[in-house]
């Protein structure tokens, strides 16, 4: 069966199709004309992928729905169906594409390390919680560099009677006075910044007619930032020997932490809710990171940064903005 790169959404698979193209013609899967390669190039990979799942009558998902949701390998569900059916046929696997499945137990068990740690630090131990089991996933916390002179933003609601806050007032509270947040513990200030100005409007929870002071901050040196938005590709991690389940576990843990980091604070949340994410931030800090970044859950496409040392960014200017329109959708 011929496949072409247009069948796949995973960039690395697309490259592999190009590298293995021996022919030009009609793709048997999507019908496009162009470079194509034989599906046998990917058979072993997809057999390993299918082995990540077990039959589960209590699940609502199929192999295809999970691959679509978690890994976005194919450009179309129908292409996924055609390709996987061929892999199952030539490999003689005992599975049907409409079978209800979930990830194998080993994955679910290992991916629960974050949930266990959360319970532990909230309910059992506070300062000597056992985070050693996280060391196994230390590479999860891979970092990227936030370059010196990068500009980031921070908003504060301008108090009644003031035109705009000064640059000096745009930073975080001093040590000992900081309230607890998703990332920082009580009394230990971290600087919360956003990649663009618009995201700050959402992050500060502004309401109609609020006046905001928007500070522009310049990064003072190259910073090591743990990126909770890292993307994983099953295909990249597959080399024929390594277990793909490791990659699934890592993705699941990172996603769960990211979800908790970006979860909006609700009125009835207690500070206890922040403890696990504070722990993870401190774990990153102990492992020599200068900060973290993660997607904003309040503004699609926005990215939040948390710097552990507030002096690593300097406020260089402040402008005033007024919220003129709020759109609410339900
Ligand atoms: Zn195709």
What pLDDT is stored for residue 132 in this prediction?
A: 78
- What gap in Å lies between CA 210 and CA 322, rounded to an integer? 6
**How far, in Å, is the centroid of ligand 1 from the Cα of 245?**
27
154 band by pLDDT with thresholds 50, 70 and 90 = very high
Q: Region 288-296: what's the mean pLDDT?
A: 94
* Res 264 pLDDT > 80: no
Indicate if 196 and 275 belong to the same structural domain.
yes
Q: Region 198-211: what's the mean pLDDT?
A: 86
Indicate if 25 and 146 belong to the same structural domain.
no
240 band by pLDDT with thresholds 50, 70 and 90 = low
Indicate if 302 and 242 belong to the same structural domain.
yes
Q: Region 213-226: what's the mean pLDDT?
A: 97
Indicate if 304 and 188 belong to the same structural domain.
yes
What pLDDT is stored for residue 241 in this prediction?
A: 64
What pLDDT is stored for residue 278 in this prediction?
A: 95
| Domain interval for residue 289 | 132-322
**How far, in Å, is the centroid of ligand 1 from the Cα of 32?**
6
Contact 316, 218 (CB under 8 A): yes
Write the CA distances from 11 to 15, 131, 193, 245, 252, integer angstroms. Answer: 6, 35, 31, 20, 21
**How far, in Å, is the centroid of ligand 1 from the Cα of 16?**
13
What pLDDT is stored for residue 13 in this prediction?
A: 95
HEC sequence for 142-181: CEEEECCCCEEEEEEECCCCCCCCCHHHHCCCCCCCCCCC
User: Is 113 part of a structural domain of the chain?
Assistant: no
Smallest CA-to-CA distance from 154 within 189, 110, 129 is with: 189
Q: Which helix (H) or strand (E) holds 62?
A: none
242 band by pLDDT with thresholds 50, 70 and 90 = low
**How far, in Å, is the centroid of ligand 1 from the Cα of 128?**
54
Indicate if 95 and 139 belong to the same structural domain.
no
Q: pTM, whole model, 2 decimals?
A: 0.86
What pLDDT is stored for residue 263 in this prediction?
A: 84
**How far, in Å, is the centroid of ligand 1 from the Cα of 6?**
5
Q: Region 210-237: what's the mean pLDDT?
A: 92
- What gap in Å lies between CA 30 and CA 115, rounded to an integer? 41
* Res 34 pLDDT > 70: yes
Indicate if 149 and 57 belong to the same structural domain.
no
Query: Helix or strand or coil: residue 89?
Result: helix
Contact 281, 140 (CB under 8 A): no
Give the orientation angle of helix 275-286 with respect to helix 244-262, to 10 degrees: 120
**How far, in Å, is the centroid of ligand 1 from the Cα of 34?**
9
User: Is 125 part of a structural domain of the chain?
Assistant: no
User: Is 41 part of a structural domain of the chain?
Assistant: yes
Indicate if 36 and 91 belong to the same structural domain.
yes
Indicate if 97 and 146 belong to the same structural domain.
no
Indicate if 94 and 10 belong to the same structural domain.
yes
* Res 261 pLDDT > 70: yes
What pLDDT is stored for residue 209 in this prediction?
A: 80
**How far, in Å, is the centroid of ligand 1 from the Cα of 61?**
25
User: Is 330 part of a structural domain of the chain?
Assistant: no
What pLDDT is stored for residue 210 in this prediction?
A: 84
Indicate if 149 and 62 belong to the same structural domain.
no
Q: Region 51-77: what's the mean pLDDT?
A: 95
What pLDDT is stored for residue 130 in this prediction?
A: 80
Question: CB neighbours (10 Å) of residue 280?
Answer: 24
- What gap in Å lies between CA 42 and CA 90, rounded to an integer? 12
Contact 228, 258 (CB under 8 A): yes
**How far, in Å, is the centroid of ligand 1 from the Cα of 24?**
11
Contact 329, 215 (CB under 8 A): no
Contacts of 323 (CB under 8 A, 6+ apart): 201, 206, 207, 208, 209, 210, 211, 212
**How far, in Å, is the centroid of ligand 1 from the Cα of 240?**
24
What pLDDT is stored for residue 194 in this prediction?
A: 97
**How far, in Å, is the centroid of ligand 1 from the Cα of 4?**
4
Indicate if 161 and 269 belong to the same structural domain.
yes
Task: Quote the number of domains for the chain.
Answer: 2
**Residue count of the chain:** 330
Q: Region 110-132: what's the mean pLDDT?
A: 88
What pLDDT is stored for residue 235 in this prediction?
A: 92
**How far, in Å, is the centroid of ligand 1 from the Cα of 21?**
12
User: Is 140 part of a structural domain of the chain?
Assistant: yes
Whole-number percent of the chain with pLDDT over 90: 68
User: Is 117 part of a structural domain of the chain?
Assistant: no
Least confident of 171-175, 203-207, 264-268: 264-268
Number of H helices, E strands in the chain: 10, 13
Residue 176, judged by CB atoms within 10 A of its CB (0-12, 13-18, 19+), counts as exposed
Mean pLDDT of the chain: 91
User: Is 111 part of a structural domain of the chain?
Assistant: no
**How far, in Å, is the centroid of ligand 1 from the Cα of 37?**
10
Q: Region 195-200: what's the mean pLDDT?
A: 94
Indicate if 278 and 166 belong to the same structural domain.
yes
Smallest CA-to-CA distance from 75 within 39, 30, 40 is with: 30
What pLDDT is stored for residue 133 in this prediction?
A: 74
323 band by pLDDT with thresholds 50, 70 and 90 = confident
Q: Which of 79-93, 132-146, 248-262 has the highest mean pLDDT?
A: 79-93
User: Is 327 part of a structural domain of the chain?
Assistant: no
* Res 230 pLDDT > 90: no
Q: Region 147-157: what's the mean pLDDT?
A: 96
């Amino acid at each position: 069966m011929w496949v072409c790169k247009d069948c796949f959404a995973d960039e690395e698979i697309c490259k592999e199709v190009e590298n293995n193209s021996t022919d030009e013609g009609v793709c048997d899967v999507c019908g496009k004309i162009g470079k194509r390669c034989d599906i046998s190039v990917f058979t072993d990979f997809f057999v390993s992928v299918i082995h990540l799942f077990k039959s589960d009558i209590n699940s609502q998902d199929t192999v295809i729905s999970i691959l679509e949701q978690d890994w976005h390998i194919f450009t179309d569900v129908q292409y996924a169906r055609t390709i996987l059916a061929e892999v199952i046929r030539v490999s003689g696997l005992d599975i049907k594409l409409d079978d209800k499945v979930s990830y194998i137990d080993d994955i679910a068990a290992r991916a629960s390390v974050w949930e266990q740690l959360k319970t532990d630090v909230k309910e059992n131990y506070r300062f000597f919680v056992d985070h050693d089991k996280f060391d196994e996933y230390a590479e999860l916390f891979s970092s990227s560099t936030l370059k010196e002179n990068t500009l980031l933003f921070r908003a504060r609601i301008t108090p009644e009677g003031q035109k705009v806050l000064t640059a000096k007032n745009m930073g975080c509270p001093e040590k000992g006075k900081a309230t607890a947040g998703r990332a920082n513990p009580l009394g230990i200030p971290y600087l919360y910044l956003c990649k663009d100005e618009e995201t700050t409007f959402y992050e500060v929870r502004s309401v109609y007619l609020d006046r905001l002071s928007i500070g522009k901050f310049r990064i003072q040196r190259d910073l090591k930032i743990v990126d909770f938005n890292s993307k994983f590709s099953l295909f990249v991690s597959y080399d024929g020997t390594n277990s793909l389940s490791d990659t699934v576990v890592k993705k699941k843990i990172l996603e769960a932490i990211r979800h908790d980091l970006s979860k909006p604070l609700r009125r009835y949340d207690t500070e206890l809710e922040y403890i696990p994410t504070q722990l993870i931030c401190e774990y990153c800090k102990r492992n020599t990171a200068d900060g973290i970044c993660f997607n904003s859950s309040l503004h699609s496409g926005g990215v939040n940064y948390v710097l552990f040392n507030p002096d690593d960014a300097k406020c260089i200017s402040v402008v005033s903005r007024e919220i003129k329109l709020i759109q609410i959708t339900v």
